[in-house]
Amino acid sequence: MNQDRTHGIENDEITIDVTELLSVLWSKARIIILVAILFAVAAFGGTRIFITPMYTSTTSMYMLTRSDTSSSLTTGDLQTGTQLTQDYMELVKSRSVLEEVISVLNLDMTADELESTITTSNAENTRIMSISVENEDPELAKEIADALREAASVKIQDIMEIDAVNTIDEASMPQEPSSPSVMRNTMLGGVLGAILAIGVIALIFILDDTIKTPDDVEYYLGLNVLTSIPLWEGEPKVKKTRKRNMR
């Protein structure tokens, strides 16, 4: 009998009744939803209160190179310009360009701090380069992007010896914050809350080794249940009254 009991316990440690687990999770659906809502509200409030909104301004420019003095643009010019765009993107973040922008705008930040707010990108197979600047002040983000484009244009022409750097779009004035995303953070908070609640409920279910049914007695203890006494719930209780002796 001891061997059967040990065998049953060992099986319980490695076996999970998925159907019963899903049933338990379904019965706790209200708790899971409530926890998810609480986490979503906390994420919404935390994003609104503790995270500073950031604005992104973007400007773009076009690099024009020619291999000779002719007025026509050759296929080789286009290929060369496309390959060199990566070099232009690095020059935008060069220390000399950043320090010039800081000096012109009288910014209270270091070159490294300014560089961390800049993102450069290049559309595939083009010589169009975009410069994006992120800042908590939308007007300052626009000013930095424009100043960065102008300083980078001069630097690129001097070092790369290209014919011209033409402005396609001046820096835009951001109207809405680019980050953080309140909706995304709220959804992530709700999902995290739901996952946490499901994990806790599942863990409690897995670790619960109490005997609840006759089948559990046979499974864990290796004993056959001969009979069981049903418990009647909701049965009215008989009230006892005392009789008083009448004198």
Q: What is the pLDDT of residue 86?
A: 78
**In this predicted model, what pLDDT tens digit does every residue of 213-235 receive, in sequence order?**
666 666 666 667 666 666 565 55
Rounded to whole angstroms, the Cα distance separating 129 from 150 reads: 13
The pLDDT-based confidence of 242 (bands split at 50, 70, 90) is very low
- Give the pLDDT mean for 136-163: 88
Alpha-carbon gap, residue 153 to 162, rounded angstroms: 10
**Cβ distance 5 to 220 under 8 Å?**
yes
Q: Where are the domains of the chain?
A: 35-51+180-226, 55-169
pLDDT at residue 207 greater than cutoff 70: yes
Burial class (CB in 10 A: 0-12, 13-18, 19+), 63: buried
**Candidates 3.40.190.170, 3.30.70.20, 3.30.70.1130, 1.10.730.10; CATH matching 55-169:** 3.30.70.1130
**Cα-to-chain-centroid distance, residue 245:** 79
The token pair that represents 37 in the structure block: 């809502």
In the structure encoding, which two tokens stand for residue 16, read together? 């999970």
**Residues 57, 142 contacting (CB under 8 angstroms):** yes
Above 80 in pLDDT, residue 190?
A: yes
Residue scoring higher pLDDT (108 or 160): 108
Q: Is the dihedral of CA 217, 14, 22, 28 positive or negative?
A: positive
- pLDDT at position 158 is 84
Question: Which of the four pLDDT bands, split at 50, 70 and 90, describes residue 156?
Answer: confident
Q: Is the peptide bond before 180 cis (omega within 30 degrees of 0)?
A: yes
- Convert the pLDDT of each residue in 14-70 to its tens digit: 466 788 888 889 999 999 999 999 999 999 999 889 988 999 999 998 877 654 445
The pLDDT of residue 160 = 76
User: Does the pTM exceed 0.95?
Assistant: no
Tokens of 149: 């484009």
CA–CA gap between residue 126 and residue 131 (Å, rounded): 15
- pLDDT for the residue numbered 139: 94
**C-alpha–C-alpha distance, residues 102 and 235, integer Å:** 83
Q: Residue 73 and residue 149: Cα distance in Å, rounded?
A: 24
**Token reading at 19:** 């159907």
Question: So what's the pLDDT on residue 76?
Answer: 55
Predicted pLDDT of residue 4: 44
Q: What is the pLDDT of residues 73-129, one digit of tens each?
A: 555 555 555 566 778 888 899 999 999 999 999 999 999 999 999 999 887 777 788
Q: How far is residue 151's CA from residue 99's CA, in Å, rounded to a whole number?
A: 10
Mean pLDDT of 184-202: 94
Spatial distance between the Cα atoms of 98 and 109, rounded to a whole number of angstroms = 10
- Give the confidence band of 2 by pLDDT, cuts at 50, 70, 90: very low
Note the helical H segments in the chain: 2-14, 18-27, 29-50, 75-92, 95-105, 111-115, 138-160, 182-207, 214-216
